[in-house]
Homo-oligomer: A and B are copies of this chain.
Amino acid sequence: MATVLAFDVYGTLIDTHGVVAELEERLPADGPEGLAQEFSRRWRERQLEYSFRRGLMGAWVDFSECTRAALEFTDRALQTWLSETDKEHLMSLYARLPAFAEVKQALEQLREAGVTCVAFSNGGFAAVDGLLVQAGIRHYFHDIISVEEVKRFKPDPAVYALLRTRLEVASGDCWLISSNPFDVIGARHAGLHAVWVRRSLDAPFDPWGIEPDMTVANLVELAECLN
């Protein structure tokens, strides 16, 4: 049975910090240097925290609600006082974030090598489908598997079990590809293989004693390793 690569979406294929240019236009011009980067970073961190906490509470909502509440929180915490129009605009941008620069080339190489790729995301099916379409990479994916089918969030073991069920493969044949250490650790804990895409040298891997099977700097490096 062929190996299947399950790609995380936000942060791995798609750049969640693709909102920085728009933030720079909309945040107060007299704010501290690097405010847009700081806003983007804290927005993303809080979005993930909200998904972890909602998962733990058994109070699942669509991921976009975590994104929206995290935007609101960050705006209040940084006292940037964005207008409702600006917030709606930023949310709509989240539906058309760009792919990382090397993604298309890597997916092309994997297709040529005959590797089956699926997208596997905390995002809802429609949101992920739309995101991949607008980034021009939807056709590289055999399927989209969204946590909304089980109403849990990564790194709950139930979502990795969903992935295995949907792919109907033994766990050894399915590899998670993610830039998010929490996702890599969650997958390894659930018995999957996992590759860490180390997109930033600033972010160390969590020292839990659970390591990725492989670490790559980007997806072209991954495709080349598999050839």
The total of chain A residues at the interface (CB under 8 A) is 28
Residues of chain A from 167 to 189 with CB closer than 8 A to chain B in the complex = 182, 185-186, 189
Flag A185-203 by CB within 8 Å of B: 1 or 0 each: 1100100000000000011
Asked if A72 is at the interface (CB within 8 A of a chain B CB), the reply is yes
Query: Is A202 within 8 A of B58, CB to CB?
Result: no
Query: Is A156 within 8 A of B206, CB to CB?
Result: no
Query: Is A53 within 8 A of B52, CB to CB?
Result: yes
Complex alpha-carbon distance, A155 and B204, angstroms: 26
Asked if A217 is at the interface (CB within 8 A of a chain B CB), the reply is no
Known A69-B207, A73-B206, A73-B207; judge A189-B57 contact (CB<8 A).
Answer: yes
Q: Specify which of A50, A57, A156, A185 lies most central, judged by the most chain B CB atoms within 10 Å of its CB.
A: A57
Q: A55-B56, A57-B156, A58-B157 are in contact. List 5 more A-B contacts (CB 8 A).
A: A52-B56, A57-B155, A59-B189, A72-B207, A73-B207
A contact residues vs B (CB 8 Å cutoff): 49-50, 52-53, 55-59, 69, 72-73, 76-77, 153, 155-157, 182, 185-186, 189, 202-204, 206-208
